[in-house]
Amino acid sequence: MMTRDYLSTNKAIWNADAVNWVTIAERLWRLETPEWGTWGNAEEDLSMLPADMTDMDAIELGCGTGYVSGWMARRGARVTAIDISAEQLTTALGLAAEHGADIAFIEGNAEATGLPDAAFDFAISEYGASIWCPPDKWLREAWRLLRPGGQLVFLGNHPLSLICSPLDGSPAVRTLHRPYRGMWGADWTEVEFEPTGVCFNLTISSWMDLFAEIGFDVARYQELYAPQLASGTRAAIPADWARSYPVEQVWHLRRIG
Ligand SMILES: C[S@@+](CC[C@H](N)C(=O)[O-])C[C@H]1O[C@@H](n2cnc3c(N)ncnc32)[C@H](O)[C@@H]1O
């Protein structure tokens, strides 16, 4: 397990990288129907969000440019959104104003929000806390924030995409490059190709054990692929690879107790 200060590392990386996400964010904020993950999987296939969120208190953990929060606000939710990067929040605030979305943005760490217990009906993370925070930390915080019976939905990299990724950061291949057993994530800060921050992931059985230990029931587990017509390479995963192997995973959980 790495010892790097992942919080300040990831914060600095996202502050520096925020400018590169503005155009993508502008497109996603404008969408009528949500698209998810690197390959734009359709909401009608994934059901990430309740169709009607009227009167629901919702929180996005690691909101980045805020488009998921924008979609929830449009569905009627009262939305809180937290992110550790001031620069990402600047984009989110600008786009929320442009779209007339009333969202309470907070600059802070999604592992320790400082928000009250049991204040939310719904929590979500798409490539936010779901990959940038150690699971045992941010999942406990999500559980604390949810009301009993509240839902947590999160999307991140599939463990298979990590073990097929070479150690130098070059695109995924059909060969195993890392052990699966003992998986905790990866430090991408010093790789040769497209360096970024420190990400976290677990084996499927470790995710399941952690959910049970914290007090979440699994309502649904989904494995996502690139669409048949996809081409090119996104986030170091070639479309050809992602059509045959799951590139992302979505967990739909419910707080018990
Ligand atoms: C790829 S963005 C995902 C958010 C959103 N779906 C988007 O694409 O704009 C990742 C975000 O996670 C944020 N993040 C990383 N670590 C965090 C932490 N500990 N607490 C809150 N946000 C964090 C980063 O600042 C970044 O804005």
Instruction: Show pLDDT as tens, one digit a residue, over the chain (257 residues).
Output: 556 899 999 999 999 999 999 999 999 999 999 999 999 999 999 999 999 999 999 999 999 999 999 999 999 999 999 999 999 999 999 999 999 999 999 999 999 999 999 999 999 999 999 999 999 999 999 999 999 999 999 999 999 999 999 999 999 999 999 999 999 999 999 999 999 999 999 999 999 999 999 999 999 999 999 999 999 999 999 999 999 999 999 999 999 98
Nearest CA to ligand 1 atom 1: 127
Instruction: Give residue 257's pLDDT.
Output: 82
Q: From the CA of 15, give the closest atom in ligand 1.
A: 25
Q: How far is the CA of 154 from the centre of ligand 1 (A)?
A: 13
Count of structural domains, the chain: 1
Angle, vertex CA 60, rays to CA 110 and CA 88, nearest 5: 75
Does residue 127 sit within a domain? yes
Candidate from 43, 60, 88 with most ligand 1 atoms within 8 A of CB, to mutate: 88
Q: Report the C-alpha gap between 13 and 198 in whole angstroms.
A: 10
Q: Report the C-alpha gap between 43 and 49 in whole angstroms.
A: 8
Q: Where residue 92 sits, what CATH number does that domain have?
A: 3.40.50.150
Assign residue 44 a region (left: φ > 0; alpha: ψ between -120 and 50; beta: otherwise).
alpha
Model confidence pTM above 0.95: yes
Does residue 1 sit within a domain? no
Instruction: Give residue 88's pLDDT.
Output: 98
Angle, vertex CA 101, rays to CA 95 and CA 102, nearest 5: 120
Q: From the CA of 138, give the closest atom in ligand 1.
A: 19
Q: How far is the CA of 88 from the centre of ligand 1 (A)?
A: 8
Candidate from 7, 9, 11, 91 with most ligand 1 atoms within 8 A of CB, to mutate: 11
Q: How far is the CA of 186 from the centre of ligand 1 (A)?
A: 16
- Tell me the C-alpha to C-alpha distance, in Å, between residue 251 and each of 18, 37, 105, 240: 26, 13, 24, 24
Q: How far is the CA of 127 from the centre of ligand 1 (A)?
A: 7
Does residue 192 sit within a domain? yes
Residue in the block written with tokens 């779901």: 130
- Say how many residues make up the chain: 257
Q: Report the C-alpha gap between 40 and 14 in whole angstroms.
A: 21
Does residue 209 sit within a domain? yes
- Helix 22-30 vs helix 86-98: angle between axes, to the nearest 10 degrees? 30
Q: Report the C-alpha gap between 228 and 57 in whole angstroms.
A: 36
Instruction: Give residue 3's pLDDT.
Output: 63
Q: Report the C-alpha gap between 88 and 136 in whole angstroms.
A: 25
Does residue 25 sit within a domain? yes
Instruction: Name, in order, each residue with C-beta under 8 angstroms of 201's C-beta and a sequence gap of 6 or more.
Output: 131, 156, 157, 159, 162, 183, 184, 185, 186
Please give all residues whose beta carbon lies within 6 A of any atom in ligand 1, as ranges: 7, 10, 14, 21, 62-65, 68, 82-85, 88, 109-111, 126-129, 132-133
Q: From the CA of 128, give the closest atom in ligand 1.
A: 12
Q: How far is the CA of 213 from the centre of ligand 1 (A)?
A: 25
Provide the domain limits for residue 197. 6-255
Return the structure tokens found at 180. 């699966």
